[in-house]
Every structure is written in C-alpha cells, then in structure tokens.
Structure 1
Amino acid sequence: MTKMLLAAGLAALMAGTSGVALAQSGNGVLTVATIGEPPTLDAMQTPTDIVLTITQHMFETLYTYDDKWQPSPLLAAAMPEISQDGLTYRIPLRQGVTFHDGSAFDSADVVASLKRWMEINSKGRQVAQVIESVAADGDQTVVIKLKSRYSPLLATLSQGWAPIFPSEKLGGELKEFIGTGPYKLQERRPDQYTQLVRFDGYKSPEGEPSNYAGRREAIAGEVRFVPVPDANTRVEGLLSGQYDYADALPVSAYERVEGASNVKPVIFENAGWTSLNMNMAEGPLTSKPLRQAVQTALNPSDMMLAAFSDERFFSVDGAFYPEGFFWHTEDGVTRYGEGDPEAAAKLMKEAGYDGKPIRILTSRQYEFHYKTGEVAKAYLEAAGFKVDLQVVDWATLTTRRADKGQWDIFITHSNFPGDPTTLNTITDTYPGWYTSDAKTKAVGAFLNAVSNDDRLAAWKTIQTTIYDDAPLVKVGNFNALGGLANGVSGYQAAYWPRFWNVTPKS
C-alpha cells in the first residue's frame, strides 16, 4: 500500500540497519504510536493516512510501488498484458495465496473487490467512469476493459484504498477485516490499540524489498498500533521506552530525540505538502474570486515556519511537485507569495463578500495542521475575512468534511503521487468537490497522452488550471519526523510506516 512519490527527488534517510533485517521469525512485539484512532479499518471507505498505515499490513492490492515509485506486482503475478489500443488489461494473479481465514485467493475475489471499490471509494468511482467491465478469465486472470484510455490505471490500483478481500465476505458494510497480508487482525480496542499478529500462512511476493514491493517477512510476532493523539505524549512515550516507533513527531522534538541514548530520529524527506482545501459545492467559497482572495491573502512562509519551526524540515514552493521531480514545473503558479491583504480585500469586494464567517476545520493530532490554521486565520482576518477556526480530532474532521454544509476550508496534507492524476485534488468527488470544464479538458488530455513528453505538457496545463480555478491553497513541502528505539533493525523511513521485514529489539 503506498504513498506515492516519484523516485526522482526522493531521499529517505534510513534508521536501523542498512538493509532488510534477516532473522528468524520470533514472537517479539513492535509497539507503534500513531497520531490517533483510525475511524475504520475498511481502507476503501476512508483512505486516510492512519487507516492505510495500519491496514497495509493486513490487506494487499494487485500492484504496489517500488523504490522508483513505479507499479510493481503484489497480488498480481506480473505486469498486465495491454492491448494495442490501450483499452484491455489482462492481469495474471499469483497462485497459492490464501486469505487470513484460510480461503484461497482467486480472480473472483479481485472482481468482487474492485467492483466494491468502484462503488464506495472516491478514486474507485472516478475510475469506474472509464471502466467498461471487470471480469474473471478463469481462476488466475482478471480482464479489465476500458471505455477510453486511462494512463493512471496501474498507479491507482497500486494504492492502498483498492485492497482485495474474500468475495464471500463482501456485501454492504465490511464486518470482517480479512486480507492476504503478512499480519492479520487479532483484536481492536478503540482508543486503546489495534493488535495485528503474524499470519503464518502468508505467501510473500518474490524479489528484493524495494519500497513497498518485493519480499515481505513478518519477523515480529505482533505489531500493536496505539493511538496517541497528542504529539508531545508520543515523544515522551518514545523516550521512556513505551513505544518502539513513534510517528509524526513535532520537529521541535528533534534535538531531544537525537540526543537520547535509547532512540534515534527518522527523517523522511519530501514526505508531502500541506494544503487548505476549499468547499466549491456549498457556502461562500463557491465564488472563484473569493477563493482567489483566500490564496492572495495567505503567507506560505509564515504558515510553514509556524508549522515546522526549522527550515531543515520544510520548503516554500507553489509547484505541486518539488524541484528535481519529473513532474516539477512552475507553469501556472500564481497568487503564491508573501500575502497581500490589500489585493485580497479588492478581490473580496469584487466577489461581494458579505462577512459570513469562513469555517476552517483543523486538528491538533497533526500539530502542523493546527499551527498552519492559526496563521491562516490571522492573515485572512487581516484581509477582512471573518474566520471560525474549528479544532476537532482527526476522525471527526474526516467525517465532517464529507458533509458539504459543515465547512468552508479544511487543512490536510498529501504526498507526491507517482502519477499526478491520482492527486486528491484531481478527483471530482474528493471533499471540496472541485469540478470545472477547464479541469475536465486538461485531465482528459493527460489521460490520453502516450509519451512522457506529452504527459508532462498535459500536466503543466493541469497545474495552470488548478491555480486559476483555485480549489485549494498549497502551503509548502515538508519532511516528516519519526522516532525509532535502538535495537529495532530493518526499519526504513516511509510515508506510511511499514513493519514487515523489521526485527524487534531483543
């Protein structure tokens, strides 16, 4: 399950050993402090970071991402055979794979799972518009037929929100969380822990480990994910030895973690980017000039400095991909700078802003979200907006943002996907509900592009269109900080922390 970055500028610092730990599987426990309680373990329903961090150990997809952030087979046996017209994908499946309940994995499971994914997942519903059919051809082959070319198909199938479940367990709400992954669900106690234990019947893909691809070994007998919403509590728990890994630490804790004798910091460079996403379906920000006024009013430098404190952990860049990535371009970047309240006030007047408060949703479970929101509030108020900053837990935010009538802006962060059309912003049904004729035309050109040159040219047009339509404000890029206990080996920094091939401390 992945968090997608194009390999070209990604440099992840490693913690632990320089390679995958080779050890006999034992009964050791890895205790992982996460940013909070997952709202569900059904990754199709709510594909948020916390959900995918946990469920990637339980569920597997047809493809996943290698260290070049290119699709690589996981439950598929090989890359698909694609017809000359680009409309038919024949996907061979691995044999001998079983689910946690002992049932055999086959094409019926893939067909049923993908159909459910196309019904209930935002990315799946987007893909469903171009899929003519998904059908089994025998037990070990699935055939996907498209209505039109769709270049991101494999990238989308490589993401953790398209897991394969047993077909017999599907139908309505998912009641049993059964997958093919190296770990299976043992017990979930809300607000206490999610306990995964080794699946002894696991059949790993072949090949050297490469990001999320390659060999997976459940070395630890148990991985326990503990929700710890307060960032400082995660730090203290790590330092005290309570946790083997602590995720999403505040950068202000770097020196303490680095100076401790029992733990070490883990940095993941260009982990993602923060954004303020605007509601284009209901409320005052359905007005394009008013959205552009929000962009104009904000100061990315001050928001990133407040959020991350140390310039080692962020960069201010309006492009949707960092410099050095294949998809990096400055085309179209506008209204991105140091904040101009006078220009913003002029746009507000043109838009007929009536003084209705702009409701901003943020959460302290990601402390950098909250600090970004505080600075954004100050700059928007300086321009003349009234602002209602609502601080809620992350689970509440993800629930509330699905209701078009409850918010105007929500703060989140995203990764840098291997295929730009898998950016959440591109999805019509992602909260914010960004649709426009210009976006549809620009994305259509990308989907039909064949060569990388044509795809890059089409992406430049998409970025330009996004800035003109103003569905969001990109704030900046950030590095992520975690902490790892000494004695834990084999862990490699990753956007979604993963714990197969990791040996617990003895």
Structure 2
Amino acid sequence: MRTMLRRLAAVLLPLSLVLTACGGGGSTSPSDAASAQTGGEINIAWPSQPPTLDPVVVTTSATNTIAYNVFEGLVALDANYDVQPMLAESWSTNDDYSEFTFKLRTGITFHNGQTMTTDDVIASINYWIQVTSAGQQFFADAEVTAPDADTVVIKLPQTLYTGIYYLAQPTQQLVIMPATSIEKAVASTGVPQEDLFGTGPFKIESMTVDQQIVLSRFDGYVARDDEASGIVGKKEPMADKLIFNIVPDATTRVNGIMSGEYDYATDIPADNASQLASTSGVTLNTLNSGILAMVFNKKQGAFADEKLRQAVQMAINAEDVLNASYNSTDYYELNGALAATTQKDWYTDAGLDAYNQNDIEGAKELVAESGYNGEEITFVTTRDYPYMYNSAVVVADVLKELGLNVNLQVTDWASELKLINDPAGFDLFVSDFLKRPIPSAYTYLTPTYAGWSDDSELADAIAQVNAATSSDEGLAAMANLQEVHYSYVPAVKFGDIRAITAQRDTVGGFVSFIGPVFYNSYRVN
C-alpha cells in the first residue's frame, strides 16, 4: 500500500529537484556553516499583510510561509515531495486507503506550555475538516478516534488513494494546535492571534498590522533527529527573532535588500533581477513556486455563464500575460496542463487544444452566443504583487476588446482576500497557486474556495483521480479531469511560474520549498 504512494512520490522527484536546484542560492554553504552565529535578528521584506496567521483558514502564501516556522502537522512533504512523519512518529494506511493511522511523538509542547495529547490532535483534524477545501470535499464523513494515548485514526467510508497527500499539503496544512485554542476559532478568521499556539521552532510574539510580524525562538521546541528536508526533519531555531517587515512596494523591497536594511526579500519583480544579481553581497534565487491563473466567480454574476468563460479562455494569449508579469522565459513556462511537464505520472496533453488560442474573433462569437448583456465585470487585483496587477491589466484590455464592461478594481492584498471570499465582491481575479504534488488538489477546483467550482462533472473527475489505485488509472483519470477543466473553465491557467527572492551574505541557512523556509537560518559572523 505505501509502496504505491512511494512510487507516486518518486515520479515527482524531477520537480522537486528543480525546486531545490533553483533555490540553491539560499542553502547553507560550508563556509556559512562554519561561521554560523546563534542569536540575533533576521529581517525579511514581506510583500503583504497576512489576513490572519492561522494557516488553516486561508490559502495565501503570505500566511502559509510564515506558518512553516510556527506550526507543524502530523505529516508533511520532504524535498522530494514524499510524505514523512512530523508530529507523528510514524503513519500507515490500510489496503484500500480508507484508514490512516498515526503513532504520535510524545513529550511535544505547545507554545503555551501545554503538552500535546490526542484530544488536541483530534480537535485539530476536525477543525481542518470543517474549514479547508480538501477537508470539506474529501474528509467530511471521516471518523477521527484515539484507540490509545499515542494513536489517532482517521477512518473514511470510501477509498482515498491521495488522502495522505491532502493531509500533508503545505497550503491549508493540517497543523496541530491546542483543543482550547480551536474552541475559540471564528469561521472566517480562524483562531484569534492571542490563542495561536503551535509546536514549531518559533512562536508568535507580535503582529503590528501593515508594519511587521515578529516571531521569537521557542526554547521548548523538541526537534526531530532526521535530516531537514522540505518542511520536515530537524529544525534548529538559531536566530532569536524572525522579523517579517510588511513592505508592499516592490521598489522599497529591492532598495532595502541592496542597502542591507533587509536580510531577505521575497517577490522580487523580474525587471529588477539583473540589477540585484550584479549587486555585491546579494544572492538572487529563483524557485518553481506554482502556477499563475485567473479565477472566475461561478456562483453569481456574468461568469456563471459557462459559454462566457469559454470565450475568455479562447481569447487569452498566455504568452502576453506571462511576459507582462515575468518579463523573461527564465521565470515562466508556457504550460496549460494541470501538472508540470516533469510530473510524468500526472502530465497529459488532453484538452490542451483549448490552451493559449489567442482567438479574438472566435471568442467574440461565443460572447454573442452567451447570455452576457453588458453587465459590469469587477476584476479585482493588487499592486502588492506586481505580477498579479500586470497580468490583470493585460487581460482587462483583452476583455474590453471582446466588448465586456470591465471595472479593474485595485486594492491591497488583504482587502482583495476579503472581496474574493464574497460572491458579491468580484467576478475575476488573478493569483498564483502553490505547486501541488497532486494536480487535482488545486483549491480553485473545489466548491468551497473563491470562485466556487460547484460542478458535478468536475467533482466526479476529481473523485476518479482519488479512487485510482495505479499510475495508469491515475493518468487516465487526470486526462479526463483536464478535459473537463477546459470545458467547464473554473479558471484560465496562464502557465507555470518561478518566484524570485534575494538575500544578503550576512545570513545563511535559507532553503526553498514552495517558498522560503526560515527556521534553520542564522546570521553569519
């Protein structure tokens, strides 16, 4: 049973190698390790204010990457995209993948001083099921029990071949918090900040909205002994504090890393890459972070009409969009498939004749056949992430050429997140989505995520992927899902993207895994 899961991870190895190699500028070198200094602060230029620091209730990387340092799950992904135990000592599945058993590590302490128990684990799992897209869609009927003080079992009424990967996914990750914290959770914003306690190497010290988030070392942290990889293994909180400075303006982030005000900066615009690469004391890193896509509101408004969504898909020139956002093929790849080209067990060209058509006249015919009658289309975007804004500007011009009445609404990222979670708040938005080891797990495919992809054929296609028990069955199911995707059009995928980050040579230990990992970082003497 687990052999088949290991095989799935093995075919994803080429993707993870790309991630590791591209992020190599941030990894520890022998000279850095020899001069590593315990203590001090690491200042990070962060592009946007997270709406919450509870990683369960939001999908945004602004929260999730910070949360890597604070929270841990029962299992998580290593650098090879294989599932490894974290707070679990071990895990196993039954023969039909309907039951997942976790043996817990003992002596684990939360940031509030409480010892982790099965009550906390059960409460955390049930919270994850109730709140997350994957939980609601695939684990809604799960029975979660503790047969003894060190074991938790998740039992499903159906086969879920991909289940352990959903439990380990880094976006809306299943993290373990005290049951007493989860009792205070609010539906839209999650657990209150003052009650956010994890088991990770850093704890939340403070958050000053639109200024900075401060994490401080957790002296009670209990590390694993195995080698650090991805977001599992040994974690060593060497710095006293990680300070995430909220810096929405990209030029300010670039100037700050060049001057030494910041030790690390994320979301560097492609236009500034060559400037930073030639700056003394600065290392530029790129990592294959995910996909860029435009999501339609299918619950209400103009794009509840499938034919209008198909019209927009037909009109898009993906290369124009990606060039406007990333400037160079060094930072993007034209790929319309749900899987990366390196994910051999999942990659298929089924349905791709509908990708990147750039057919304006054909699209106008579909608009005429649709029910569109001049309604205003609210296209929300933000300058906090320049690639989102630049993409939106290009697409808005195409929509206007099709005769659509477009209102490009520009706001900050936190405000955009509120808008896109309200069916009356938007019609379109562009976002990046972190790379998934299972392409059917993208959140925009679910009926509970912004855009509300509530379609029986789409749900059946995803169910076929989850019910597969071999690589051949999985690939056939993925081909069907991709055909459905290009017919139903929950979103328009533009391509695969690479994020750009920069760091000073005064710090080391940074690695990348679908975003930067900071907990093993340190100052260099």
What is the TM-score with the length of structure 1 in the denominator?
A: 0.95
Counterpart CA distance in 1 for 2:352 and 2:392 is 22
Distance 1:119 1:196, change over 3 A: same
- Say whether residues 1:137 and 2:147 are aligned partners: yes
Deviations along 1:134-167, one digit per CA (max 9) or x if unpaired, are: 1112221101110101122211211342211011
Cα pair 2:315 2:360 within 8 Å, conserved: yes
Q: Which of these residues, 431, 435, 442, is aligned with residue 450 of structure 2?
A: 431
Cα pair 1:152 1:421 within 8 Å, conserved: no
What's the secondary structure of 1:417's corresponding residue?
A: coil
Specify the code of the residue in structure 2 equivalent to 1:379: V
Specify the code of the residue in structure 2 equivalent to 1:302: D
Equivalent residue number for residue 30 of structure 1 = 42
Specify the code of the residue in structure 2 equivalent to 1:306: A
Equivalent residue number for residue 41 of structure 1 = 53
Equivalent residue number for residue 109 of structure 1 = 120
Equivalent residue number for residue 25 of structure 2 = 15
What's the secondary structure of 1:345's corresponding residue?
A: helix
Q: Percent identity?
A: 31
Distance 1:460 1:273, change over 3 A: same
Cα pair 2:49 2:209 within 8 Å, conserved: yes
How many angstroms does 1:40 deviate by? 0.6
Comparing 433-442 with 364-373, greater Cα deviation is found at 433-442
What is the TM-score with the length of structure 2 in the denominator?
A: 0.92
Counterpart CA distance in 2 for 1:318 and 1:47 is 22
How many angstroms does 1:126 deviate by? 1.8
Number of equivalenced pairs: 500
- The equivalences for 1:255-270 within 5 A come to 255-268=274-287, 270=288
Equivalent residue number for residue 67 of structure 2 = 55
How many angstroms does 1:130 deviate by? 4.2
Specify the code of the residue in structure 1 equivalent to 2:299: A
- Say whether residues 1:369 and 2:388 are aligned partners: yes
Counterpart CA distance in 1 for 2:384 and 2:524 is 28
Counterpart CA distance in 2 for 1:159 and 1:443 is 17
Equivalent residue number for residue 241 of structure 1 = 260
- The equivalences for 1:401-480 within 5 A come to 401-480=420-499
Q: Which of these residues, 329, 352, 361, is aligned with residue 311 of structure 1?
A: 329
- Say whether residues 1:209 and 2:228 are aligned partners: yes
Specify the code of the residue in structure 2 equivalent to 1:217: E
Counterpart CA distance in 1 for 2:479 and 2:336 is 13
- The equivalences for 1:89-100 within 5 A come to 89-100=100-111
Counterpart CA distance in 2 for 1:342 and 1:393 is 35
Comparing 470-479 with 20-29, greater Cα deviation is found at 20-29
How many angstroms does 1:496 deviate by? 2.4
- Say whether residues 1:277 and 2:295 are aligned partners: yes
Equivalent residue number for residue 188 of structure 2 = none
Q: Which of these residues, 316, 321, 343, is aligned with residue 339 of structure 2?
A: 321
Specify the code of the residue in structure 2 equivalent to 1:320: L
Cα pair 1:216 1:501 within 8 Å, conserved: yes
Cα pair 2:383 2:411 within 8 Å, conserved: yes
Distance 1:393 1:6, change over 3 A: farther
What's the secondary structure of 2:149's corresponding residue?
A: coil
Equivalent residue number for residue 384 of structure 1 = 403
Specify the code of the residue in structure 2 equivalent to 1:188: M
- The equivalences for 1:57-206 within 5 A come to 57-80=69-92, 82-131=93-142, 133-160=143-170, 161=172, 162-173=174-185, 174-175=191-192, 176-206=195-225
Deviations along 1:176-228, one digit per CA (max 9) or x if unpaired, are: 11110000111211111111111111111221111212111111111111111
- Say whether residues 1:350 and 2:369 are aligned partners: yes
Deviations along 1:8-65, one digit per CA (max 9) or x if unpaired, are: 2341321243479477772121111111111111112223100011111111111111
Specify the code of the residue in structure 2 equivalent to 1:401: I
Comparing 110-119 with 243-252, greater Cα deviation is found at 110-119
Counterpart CA distance in 1 for 2:177 and 2:513 is 25
Cα pair 1:21 1:503 within 8 Å, conserved: no
Counterpart CA distance in 1 for 2:309 and 2:247 is 35
How many angstroms does 1:121 deviate by? 2.4
Equivalent residue number for residue 353 of structure 2 = 334
Counterpart CA distance in 2 for 1:315 and 1:85 is 37
What's the secondary structure of 2:243's corresponding residue?
A: strand
Distance 1:203 1:25, change over 3 A: farther
Distance 1:155 1:85, change over 3 A: closer
Deviations along 1:316-370, one digit per CA (max 9) or x if unpaired, are: 1211222222222111123322511111110011113211122111111110000
Distance 1:87 1:325, change over 3 A: closer
How many angstroms does 1:118 deviate by? 1.6
Specify the code of the residue in structure 2 equivalent to 1:279: N
Comparing 367-376 with 488-497, greater Cα deviation is found at 488-497
What's the secondary structure of 1:137's corresponding residue?
A: strand
Specify the code of the residue in structure 1 equivalent to 2:15: G
How many angstroms does 1:432 deviate by? 0.8
Cα pair 2:91 2:100 within 8 Å, conserved: no
Unaligned runs of 5+ in 1: none
Specify the code of the residue in structure 2 equivalent to 1:64: A
Specify the code of the residue in structure 2 equivalent to 1:221: D
Cα pair 1:61 1:159 within 8 Å, conserved: no
Counterpart CA distance in 2 for 1:155 and 1:25 is 36
Specify the code of the residue in structure 2 equivalent to 1:70: D
Distance 1:21 1:177, change over 3 A: farther
Counterpart CA distance in 2 for 1:124 and 1:496 is 23
Equivalent residue number for residue 305 of structure 2 = 287
How many angstroms does 1:303 deviate by? 0.6
Q: Which of these residues, 320, 323, 344, is aligned with residue 302 of structure 1?
A: 320
Specify the code of the residue in structure 1 equivalent to 2:158: S
Counterpart CA distance in 1 for 2:113 and 2:35 is 26
What's the secondary structure of 1:311's corresponding residue?
A: coil
